[in-house]
Homo-oligomer: A and B are copies of this chain.
Amino acid sequence: PKRLTAKVIETASNTKKLAQDDPRRVTHSIKVGLALSLVSLFYYYQPLYDNFGVSAMWAVMTVVVVFEFSVGATLGKGLNRALATLLAGALGLAAHHLANLSGHIAATSTFVRFFPKIKARYDYGLLIFILTFSLISVSGFRDAEILELAYKRLSTILIGGSSCVIISILVRPIWAGEDLHNLIALNMEKLANFLEHPSVTEYFKTSENGESNDGKSFLQGYKSVLNSKSNEESLANFARWEPCHGQFNFRHPWNQYLTIGTLTRECAYRIDALSGHLNSDIQAKPEICSKIQEAFTTMSLESGKCLRELACGVRAMTHPSSAKPHISKAKIAAKKLKLLLKSSLWEQDADLLAVIPSVTVASLLIDIVNCTEKIADSVL
């Protein structure tokens, strides 16, 4: 019983956390319940039931299957479902005496679902096409009143689908486009957080007083950027279905977001390589460290600031003109660092081995500055 209580408490706290992480999840659940109650009226309200009968079942089914988290996903699924039902219904009716054909058409459509572009946008539509086509062509073999049946089914599906779409747009809408927009900005901010973090900017300082172990978990924030590709792509696919809302037009350049996302990820790969080096010890002598330190700090801080400005610009959809100075400051610092490494002062220290980690770190940072510049170019 004690273990059971502990389990219950753990589950409850997990549930609470899930709801707090994204309160829209609760809203979404309530919206689904609302839509279901609405289409249940087909059963409970006598005049409606007289009209549609058991076909009302299809409205309930459509709601359960079509209602997705974001508006774009719901709209995409709803439109796919409606069009596919219509098309497959027409084709099925036309060919319902050719019952042997149904297996072939279903197999062909199944294969068509493997086309990457079709998979991304019309996968669900094809599924419903296969479903409806099979159902109608086999039912046609038995059912005399197939036309009426088809009409009833189609109209209930349309009603179910449109109630999903209406509720998902009107009641606290969750826009996939907005999510994508925020995700892209957030990812840039995560990289900025890393670059601006004291244990990175003062890498060459803290080595003197070795207390740099706090905030390590904070530094892991960028890791989620590394694997954001599939998430971004599905959001962009959903966003393409969405009508204009807020600051977004119908033909918002969603591909632009994917480009920025890809560049951000490339920058994150470099940061991951850099992060691996930051955890190892510095072997360079203090005098070298203090020499590099200034340029290094400037580069890291300025490219971090630049990314933050760019993220702000993306968020507010304004031209982030203040990002340019940061990037040029970072580039000047990079040049200075290169000069420093070149200068004869170094020759006094013949031990190249000791310098290697510092040089590697510095040159990875130069890479990061270049990546940041690319991101800035694609945003501007």
Contact = CB atoms under 8 A, between A and B. Distances in A.
Interface of A: 14, 18-19, 25-26, 28-30, 32-34, 36-37, 40, 42-44, 49, 54, 56-57, 60-61, 64-65, 99, 102-104, 106-108, 110-111, 114-115, 127, 130-131, 134-135, 138-139, 141-142, 226-227, 229-230, 265-266, 269-270, 272-273, 276-277, 338-339, 341-342, 344, 346-347, 350-353, 355-357, 359-360, 362-364, 367
Q: Which 8 A-B pairs have the closest CB atoms?
A: A33-B107, A342-B353, A29-B111, A33-B103, A29-B110, A360-B363, A273-B273, A230-B230
A135 B61 contact: yes
Query: How many copies of this chain?
Result: 2
A43 B142 contact: yes
A229 to B, nearest CB: 5
6 contacts: A29-B111, A33-B107, A60-B134, A227-B230, A352-B359, A359-B360
Contact of A36 (B19, B103, B115, B357): B103
Contacts of A99: 40, 44
A34 B272 CA distance: 49
Contact of A14 (B44, B61, B115, B357): B115
A284 B339 CA distance: 16
Given A36-B102, A44-B141, A346-B350, 15 more contacts: A28-B111, A29-B107, A32-B107, A32-B110, A36-B134, A37-B102, A227-B229, A273-B273, A273-B367, A342-B351, A352-B355, A352-B359, A356-B363, A359-B360, A359-B363
